[in-house]
Amino acid sequence: MLVADHLIKDFGTHRAVDDVSFSLKSGEVLGFLGPNGAGKTTTMRMLAGCLEPDIGIASIAGHNCVQDRLAAQSRLGYLPEGAPSYPAMTPRSFVEFGLRARGFTGQLLASALETALERARLGDTARQPIATLSKGYKRRAALAAAIAHDPDVLILDEPTDGLDPNQKDGVRALILEMAQTKAIIISTHILDEVPAVCSRAMIIDAGRIRFDGTPDQMIRKGGDGTIETAFRSLTQSVKAAEDAA
């Protein structure tokens, strides 16, 4: 459903993404991990068709994200970094706006709108201006907009950032529910989310993939069994091998 094929992206003299390749099929949830500046967001923006790679191909459901951008994006739900929205809108009007832009009308529009608002657990806040909402509810409004058209592929950048523990559990349950029929990428700094919701884990650092396997395999790489140690040991061992070569 999703393919990154030798993606490279430079910003001036800085190489943000350096020959990244992987694919994702329906039913997989990929935890995309790495330190700040590792290349996570740049990679996801290329996959979402928001940024063109300098080299390589990104595709969604068989559609090239550059040459066939609209068809690719029609199959994609994207929650960007920072969960941008229109502050003067309510979550209800924001989600409805996105659905109308995608061609939804009539009963199909009404049904998709109510389902998205319910899934994101927005409750009474769905009718309040987004500018007045907490960070967590703003993120849930953006999440509702990302899933409203029932896309085949989801790219979620920090989907639980700003949520309280109960809200995080709700979003994790929603991701697990949707994962049965979708391919999902989650970028997160909340490391316990990986074993909680992901079937696969990937570490990127300095623009390169350092690890790709199951969450259990990643945890076992750490001497004390923690993901933090696994991350350090994996990146250090790869860098040492590169320096030796």
In a domain, 13, yes or no: yes
**Distance (Å, rounded) from C-alpha 236 to C-alpha 244?**
12
**Distance (Å, rounded) from C-alpha 144 to C-alpha 121?**
9
| 19 and 124 both lie in a single domain | no
For the chain, how many structural domains are there in total?
Answer: 2
| 169 and 133 both lie in a single domain | no
| 157 and 200 both lie in a single domain | yes
Q: What is the pTM of this model?
A: 0.88
Inform me whether the pLDDT recorded for 139 exceeds 80.
yes
| Strand spans (E) along 25-149 | 29-33, 55-60, 63-64, 76-79
What is the predicted pLDDT for the residue at 193?
Answer: 80
- DSSP code, position 14: E
**Distance (Å, rounded) from C-alpha 3 to C-alpha 57?**
8
In a domain, 38, yes or no: yes
In a domain, 80, yes or no: no
Q: Select from 111, 101, 79 the least CA-distant residue to 175.
A: 79
Tokens at residue 85, please? 């929205």
| 207 and 110 both lie in a single domain | no
What is the predicted pLDDT for the residue at 101?
Answer: 95
Inform me whether the pLDDT recorded for 16 exceeds 70.
yes
Per-residue pLDDT tens digits for 81-128: 888 999 999 999 999 999 999 999 999 999 999 999 999 999 999 999
Question: For the domain that residue 187 is a member of, what is the CATH number?
Answer: 3.40.50.300
Q: Select from 177, 120, 173 the least CA-distant residue to 145.
A: 120
Q: Select from 194, 174, 195 the least CA-distant residue to 186.
A: 194
Inform me whether the pLDDT recorded for 2 exceeds 70.
yes
Q: Chain-wide mean pLDDT for the chain? A: 90
Tokens at residue 242, please? 């590169």
Q: Are 90 and 126 in contact, with CB atoms under 8 Å apart?
A: yes
What is the predicted pLDDT for the residue at 225?
Answer: 55
Tokens at residue 54, please? 């300098």
List of residues 6+ apart from 81 with CB closer than 8 A:
41, 157, 158
Tokens at residue 186, please? 């989650």
| 92 and 140 both lie in a single domain | yes
What is the predicted pLDDT for the residue at 103?
Answer: 95
What is the predicted pLDDT for the residue at 232?
Answer: 67
Roughly what angle, to the nearest 10 degrees, separates helices 165-178 and 135-147?
10
Higher per-residue confidence, 131 vs 219: 131
- At 238, which amino acid appears? V
Which H or E run contains 208? strand 208-213
The residue out of 150, 168, 183 marking a domain boundary is 150
| 32 and 52 both lie in a single domain | yes
| 136 and 188 both lie in a single domain | no
Read off the pLDDT of each residue in 40-67 and give the average, rounded to a whole number: 95
Higher per-residue confidence, 241 vs 196: 196
pLDDT band at 162, cuts 50/70/90?
Answer: confident
Domain that holds residue 184: 2-75+153-244
What is the predicted pLDDT for the residue at 239?
Answer: 62
Q: What phi and psi values does residue 164 have, to the nearest 5 degrees?
A: -80, 170
Per-residue pLDDT tens digits for 178-231: 998 999 999 987 777 888 899 999 989 889 998 899 988 887 776 555 566 666
| 169 and 220 both lie in a single domain | yes
| 55 and 170 both lie in a single domain | yes
In a domain, 71, yes or no: yes
| 38 and 107 both lie in a single domain | no
**Distance (Å, rounded) from C-alpha 54 to C-alpha 51?**
9
